[in-house]
Structures are given as C-alpha cells and as structure tokens.
Chain A
Amino acid sequence: MSQNPPVTKAYHDVGGDDFGPIPTEDGAYQLWERRVDAMMRLLSSPQVGLMRVDELRRGIETLGEDVYNAEPYYGKWARSLAAIMIEKGVVTREDLDAKIEALRVERGLKR
C-alpha cells in the first residue's frame, strides 16, 4: 500500500527481493581477509580516526553492481577502504600500484 511511485533500488538495498534458497557455504577467512577487518578497526578507532563505518558502507555502495556481486565480503571492504583512503589523500593510487607491483615480484606472480 505504498503511496509513492517505485524507486529504482540501489543494488545493496535488497530487502523484499526475490531470491532462491539461502546458500550454505561458510568457512574460515584467509589471512588477507582478517587483515582487512583489522585495518578497518584500526582506521575507525578513536586513536586513528580516518574511517567511519558510514564511509565504508558508502564506499561499498558505490563500487558498482558488478564488483559488488563478484567480490567476497572483505574484498568489498578492501576496495571501499582503498577508494576512501585515496579520496581523503591518505594514500595515492600510485602508492598502491607501486606496492602491488612489489608484492607481485616478491610472490613470484606472473602478470
């Protein structure tokens, strides 16, 4: 009995949508995922004060629907955190790209 015209829903706003059975997979997080959680806790701590949970959510809501659907839970967090740290000027895209390249070399990963 809504008196308003339907709004195009944001992709994260799924309450009431049709979906199939609830998936059962569950498992322990990998170290990189746990470290993302740790990073967010530190960044949003009173001592550091560089992130709020509202910003993390907003970042996730603006990743784009394809990324949102494809990324695991902490992958969404990582992408949101990176975007917001760049937005705030705490790090640059170049800083991250250089470090990613260094990690690839260190881990012997081929491009």
Chain B
Amino acid sequence: MSVAHFAVGDRVQVRNLEVEEGLAGHMRAPVYCRGFTGEIERFCGIFGNPESLAYGRDGQPAQPLYRVRFRQIELWPDYRGAAADTLEIEVYQHWLKAS
C-alpha cells in the first residue's frame, strides 16, 4: 500500500502516465485533466488500483485517492462560464505530482 503524502490544499499537477511511462489499458484519469494543476480538495481514502483490478489482478499496491479541484478557466481555453466555476475529479496518487 502506498502512503498518502498529499494534504488538503496542496497544489498538484496531473501526470500523463501514458506518455511518461507508456501506461496502456484501463485507466481512470481522463485526458482532459492531464497536465493541468489543481488543488487537493479532500483525501478520499485508500483504494485498490483500478488499472490492476480491471485485469483480474489484486489492485496492489493500493493507492491513496484524492478529490482534486480545478478552475474551469484554466482547464478550457474557451471556457464559457464564470471565473469562479470549478470542476472536481478523483485522481489516484500515482497520477499526481507536487506542483
């Protein structure tokens, strides 16, 4: 099991493990958020890694999961909404790096 090392409020960038590590197959980090920076909104707990579970494996090492909040005007170049609008998604720790 991986130890949780991000705290609420930390600025984190979503990695692109397909590019960085050649990761292929089932993954739960949508492309639209990769490379972008948000902040940790909450720690959600430790969960089996879906990239492993999806292939009948045991999901280990289990990964800390976080809700990450992004500002919409930073995610989309043409965002049509309010400057205060946000988006939150759950990201597993191995997809995050300190920003």
Query: How many positions in chain A have a CB within 8 Å of any CB in the partner chain?
Result: 17
Min distance, Cβ B48 to any Cβ of chain A, angstroms? 8
Min distance, Cβ B87 to any Cβ of chain A, angstroms? 9
Residue ID in chain A nearest B75 by CB atoms? A16
* From B19, B26, B54, contact of A7 by CB (8 A): B19
Let me know if A13 and B35 touch, CB within 8 A: no
CB-CB under 8 A for A4 and B32, given A54-B26, A55-B55, A58-B54:
no
Residue in A2, A4, A54 with the greatest tally of chain B CB atoms within 10 Å: A54
CB-based A-B contact count at 8 angstroms: 48
Min distance, Cβ A52 to any Cβ of chain B, angstroms? 5
One digit per residue, 1 when the CB lies within 8 angstroms of any chain A CB and 0 when it does not, for chain B 55-79 equals: 1100000000000000000101000
CB-CB under 8 A for A15 and B54, given A4-B16, A7-B16:
no
Let me know if A5 and B19 touch, CB within 8 A: yes
Min distance, Cβ A28 to any Cβ of chain B, angstroms? 30
Considering the chains assembled together, what is the distance between the CA atoms of A12 and B19 in angstroms?
Answer: 19
Tell whether B42 is near chain A: CB-to-CB under 8 Å: no
Residue ID in chain A nearest B19 by CB atoms? A4
Let me know if B30 and A4 touch, CB within 8 A: no
Let me know if B55 and A15 touch, CB within 8 A: no
* From B31, B34, B36, B55, contact of A58 by CB (8 A): B55
One digit per residue, 1 when the CB lies within 8 angstroms of any chain A CB and 0 when it does not, for chain B 1-39 equals: 000000000000000101100000110001111111000
Let me know if B19 and A61 touch, CB within 8 A: no
Residues of A within 8 A of B (CB): 1-5, 7, 9, 13, 15-16, 52, 54-55, 57-58, 61, 88
Residues of B within 8 A of A (CB): 16, 18-19, 25-26, 30-36, 50, 53-56, 74, 76
